[in-house]
Structures are given as structure tokens and as C-alpha cells.
Amino acid sequence: MKSFRIDVENLSQKEYQRLFGRIILYADTGAAVACVAWMAYWLDHIPSHIFHTHTFTPFLFLVAMASGVYAMWLITRTGRQMGTAWNRFWILMEISYASAASILGIIAYIIFPPH
């Protein structure tokens, strides 16, 4: 059975870069998709709008949340030991934004649905 924790000290350079790259990829993806989801949400609230995005807006929020949660899962498994202190701070901010924006976006979509 695999252990929960990934021993960062014993990873090869290639494995370290692959794992750290996945953390960066999912944190960036979550933040970017959360921004796009909010843009899609507000496009549907424009009176007499042309672009109807309400069919995929909730899915964008869910994708952003899933990306943020997966990046946080990887960070938890590595014990927050990957990258510099600035990298860890920035990635944590991106994950926080992806998670908070997604949760608030889903709540806003439920409370104020598109017309």
C-alpha cells in the first residue's frame, strides 16, 4: 500500500520537476478557469445579451474547484516542501482564489440565476 506522504527528499530531479509542475499546472488552471467562469457568469446578466453562457458556467466553477482541490491535495501530500517560499505562497494564493471564487460563484449562480 502506498503511503499518504510523498518523500520529497528522495525524489529524482525528473520526478520532482514532474510533481512540482503538476502542482503549478493545477493551481494556475484553477485560478484561470475561476476567472473565466466569473466572466461567463456576468455575461449572462447583461440585459439583451448575445452570448448565452449559462449552460456551461456552473461546470467552469466546478472545474476550477476541482483543480484547486487537487493542487491542494498534492501540496498536502508533499508536506509543503516543494519550491521556494515565494512559490509556495503564490501557489497557495492561487489555490485559495480558485476555491473561494468557485464556491462563491456556485452560490451566486444559485441565488441569482441568469435570466
Say which residue the cell 494564493 belongs to.
93
Query: What was the pLDDT predicted at 114?
Result: 83
> What would the pLDDT profile of 97-108 be if each residue is shown by its tens digit?
999 999 999 999
Q: What percent of the chain is modeled with pLDDT above 70?
A: 98
Give the Cα separation of 16 and 13 in Å (integer): 5
| pLDDT of amino acid 6 | 82
